[in-house]
Amino acid sequence: MTSKTGGKRASVASVRINMEASDKPAQKAPIRNKPSLGNVSVSTHASWSISGLLAAQRMTKNFKERRAHKVALVKKIEIVEPQPPSFASRPPEKVQVSAIRQILEGYLPLRLGDTTYDPKQVPSLVKEISDEIRSQVKKVLPARYKMLCVATMGERGQEDIKVVSRCLWDPHADNYAAHVYQNDSLFCVVSVYTVFCE
């Protein structure tokens, strides 16, 4: 191939023009040890075959209908608001979990702010905390709800601990709230479970 003055390779079209010009006797002879390109032709016409057209037709057959069907299926699955099943409890008023959390978040720092861990006093302290929280939460509970308050307290050291609970209840009516309080000496985990009784 011949190169242009800028050091770039010539395009195929320019090679063809240069090769036609080489038929003139005044042109230089081709460089040795390089095969000549001969007549280079450029085709700008697309080549089509019947089998290719049939394959393309099969691939795009009903494409718009299939796409519209997929979009319609996605829209049908969308759930706006899940309804409780017929056997679920339907309380007239549900528990406000945020109100119970506010009680826990306000009470525990006031009660345990400067308390140090003493293993002899922990059983009575946990019972007092549980009773006081229960009396405050009863004020915000709707009618026909029962409540269970569980307090767990331990010494804060190098160890890790997990407090886990498992309940069997109606998720449409029952709920819970939990809060963790820590100071330099101890940790306290309080969980309040509310269950609707029919």
pLDDT digits (tens, 9 = 90+) for 20-67: 444 455 555 555 555 555 555 555 566 678 888 788 777 777 777 777
Residue 117 lies in a domain: yes
Q: In the beta sheet, which residues pair with residue 191?
A: 150, 178
Residue 198's pLDDT is: 78
Nearest of 169, 174, 167, 110 to residue 145 by alpha carbon: 174
In a domain, 141, yes or no: yes
**pLDDT (0 to 100) of residue 76:** 56
Residue 178 located in a structural domain = yes
Q: Tokens 């308050």: give the residue.
A: 149
SS3 content of the chain, % helix, strand, coil (to 5): 35, 15, 50
Domain range for residue 160? 97-196
Look at residue 72 and tell me if it is in a domain: no
DSSP label of 80: S
CATH number of residue 146's parent domain? 3.30.1140.40
Phi-psi region of 103 (alpha: psi -120 to 50; beta: other; left: phi over 0): alpha
Q: Are 58 and 51 in contact (CB under 8 A)?
A: no
pLDDT the model gives residue 73? 67
Q: Which residues of the chain have pLDDT under 70?
A: 1-47, 73-80, 82
167 lies in some domain: yes
Closest CA to 189 of 198, 180, 197, 136: 180
The answer to whether the predicted template modeling score (pTM) of the entire model surpasses 0.75 is: no
Is the residue at 4 inside a domain? no
Total domains present in the chain: 1
Q: Please report whether residue 55 resides in a domain.
A: no
